[in-house]
Structure 1
């Protein structure tokens, strides 16, 4: 079974999807936010393996929200 989740606001969004792998679960993270230059999007996998899908999806949402916060504050440039 795959668990997915998303969280969004008017100008940003984060969505995650879990995948079963050897040793547990990982998740892919997709994020996006609107900038004056256009829409920024980025997709990556979480660097950790989790014992449950629940833990993987929650960690993915946290990681994605951190990325959006850093990108929107111009602390991170990708």
Structure 2
């Protein structure tokens, strides 16, 4: 089974999708995007941890994506 979560404000969005880990547990792939439709920036990354439950994985993936969006909007880093 795969869980996914999505948070969207219009100006930005975060999506987290879980998958079984290769050696047990669950991993999470995070996709973030922000900007206008004509200048949309997207970035995808795997969460660095493996979780015991899918619920933990999707919630932590959404949290990590929100942190990433916050840092990007504050210009903490440039990609």
Q: Normalized against structure 2, the TM-score is what?
A: 0.92
- Alignment match, 2:13: 13
CA RMSD of aligned residues (A): 1.2
Q: 1:23 Cα deviation (Å)?
A: 2.4
Would you identify which runs of 4 or more consecutive aligned residues in structure 1 move more than 4 Å?
none
Structure 1: stretches of 5+ with no match in the other structure: none
- Alignment match, 1:27: 28
Structure 2: stretches of 5+ with no match in the other structure: none
Q: Normalized against structure 1, the TM-score is what?
A: 0.93
